[in-house]
Amino acid sequence: MSDRYKDARLNFSLRKTMTPQQIADMYNDFADEYEEVHLGLGLRSHLRIQEYMADTYKEDQRANLRVLDVGAGTGLVGEMLSELGFVQVDALDPARKMLDIAKTKNVYQRLICSFLNKDRIDEIETNQYDCITAAGAFNEGLIPVCAFHEMVRIVKPGGRIVFTITDKYIQITDGYRNDLLPFIQKMADEGVWDVTAIPLADGAIHLQDGPGTLYSFKVNVTEKMH
């Protein structure tokens, strides 16, 4: 039971035929080893999020800001935010056992076990958060492009959606290759958000995955309650 979909842990192409629930199950079975394996391989995306948040939000603002860490996993980003003085941070992840590990770090107020896709997350109110962070959450089988509509709903106007993605994963991920960058531009053209794109050098997100980008979308609109 503890080795479900083990080959897909590091071979992302195998996830193309997996359901979201199967991928969550894979992470549940990987939870105890996740940090040791990925940090050992050179995962650094959480550090890039920390740097951006430190540069963007003044120290005296941080305690008052509500942040949702998407694809929170075992809490690597939560730890980085806690070090900076962000205390109102919630975690969202579909893998319960990953969240169980995150809980032990005492850096999150709320742990929400849910997928992030086109569907409304009932536990989260419209305009509830000042910022969404996501590190290591954009590759095969994880957050789909359609999920940005839900992110816009839950972030306040003036708030931000901050995430990292490597150029490699945009190109090899079926759901991103032809859709992600045009969607980002379309939403900008429609005035939904203002885009800041910060180029990241080879190895800045993950030592093995080449160059990438840290995106920060400043949200300009809200979704009205139906």
Compute the 3-state secondary structure of the chain and give helix, strand, coil in percent, each to the nearest 5. 40, 25, 35
Give me 9's structure tokens: 């842990």
Sign for the CA dihedral angle at 120, 15, 95, 54 comes to: negative
Give the pLDDT of residue 109. Answer: 98
- Residue 108's nearest CA partner among 150, 135, 76 is 76
Give the pLDDT of residue 75. Answer: 97
Q: Based on the number of CB atoms within 10 Å of its own CB, is 59 exposed (0-12), middle (13-18) or buried (19 or more)?
A: exposed
Mean pLDDT, consecutive 10-residue stretches, the chain (226 aa), reads 71 80 89 88 94 98 98 97 98 96 98 96 97 93 95 98 96 94 97 98 94 98 63
Give the pLDDT of residue 38. Answer: 84
CB count, 10 Å around CB of 185?
11
Give the pLDDT of residue 14. Answer: 74
Give the pLDDT of residue 87. Answer: 98
Residues 6+ apart with CB under 8 A from 198: 52, 213, 214, 215, 216
Rounded-to-integer distance, Cα 159 and Cα 130, Å: 5
CB count, 10 Å around CB of 219?
25
pTM: 0.94
Give phi and psi for 161, each to the nearest 5: -115, 115
Give the pLDDT of residue 79. Answer: 97
Q: Based on the number of CB atoms within 10 Å of its own CB, is 3 exposed (0-12), middle (13-18) or buried (19 or more)?
A: exposed
Q: What stretches of the chain show up as alpha helix (H) in DSSP?
A: 20-41, 45-56, 59-62, 76-84, 96-103, 148-154, 167-172, 174-177, 180-189
Rounded-to-integer distance, Cα 161 and Cα 74, Å: 20
8-state DSSP, 75: T
* DSSP string for residues in 149-196: HHHHHHEEEEEEEEEEEEHHHHHH-HHHHTTHHHHHHHHHHTTSEEEE
